[in-house]
Amino acid sequence: MINIKPIKAFDDNYIWLMTTNEGSIVIDPGECVNLIKIIEQKNIKLDAILITHHHYDHTGGIEELLIKYPYLNVYGPNNNIDSIKSRLIDGGLLNVIGIDFEIIEIPGHTLDHIAYFANINNSPILFCGDTLFAGGCGRVFEGTFDQMYESLMKLKKLPQNTRIYCGHEYTINNLKFAKEVEPDNIDLIKRYNDVLDLRKNNIPTLPSTLSIELKTNPFLRADKNNVQNIISKKFKTGINEKEIFSALRQWKDNF
């Protein structure tokens, strides 16, 4: 039995609580008030904390969790968060609660950013923080546009049925922008309408899947002629995929 539950935090963050028959882990606890309530109400045994990057809205709850559950191991990238006890690198393997996670370094949003990928009985999952979003990608704060592009290309190669658990409920705004890029994309229009219905009922739009991202997320579609054409016309740039991606990301920054 595997259960992955979104826990709301701040305005639009999701903390992910993953439970198997062997225990539970939490991914990116920016705060922990709601998380601790759920742990206590359901008598959950929390085993570990997984961190994708150093931003406070993904790490701010670590210390309080360690005070309450001092036995927890904290896994994460090489950064300035002293409470991370086990540092992870690209290509490394992490086994927790009976799950084998592969570590994928994905710099761009931050330089320390990593993702956790596991293929569980041919049902792959990805915890990708603020790099790949439903319908979009993260802002480039510390890295370069080229780094973010290369990171997304790593994720693009994962199995298409990979379920994507990212860190924010940004989907409606991301898809509004995507429709500006590809106004005639039928898959995108349907997805946007479906997402509107979900949010009207306060239902999370996550997880997404890589297959739907490949059809509707412009940041994974810099190789498509219609995306290249609109970007080259709007920004007078060439059709090099990295240039297309950079122009897309800068357009989104000002959208």
Catalytic residues: 53, 55, 57-58, 109, 130, 168
Sign of CA dihedral 191, 193, 195, 198: negative
Query: Largest alpha-carbon pair distance within the chain?
Result: 58
Give the Cα separation of 67 and 14 in Å (integer): 22
Q: What is the DSSP letter of 111?
A: T
Give the Cα separation of 23 and 94 in Å (integer): 15
Cα distances (angstroms) measured from residue 103 to each of 43, 96, 114: 29, 13, 7
Cα distances (angstroms) measured from residue 210 to each of 61, 87, 133: 29, 27, 10
CB-CB neighbours of 31 under 10 Å: 19
Gyration radius of the chain's alpha carbons: 18
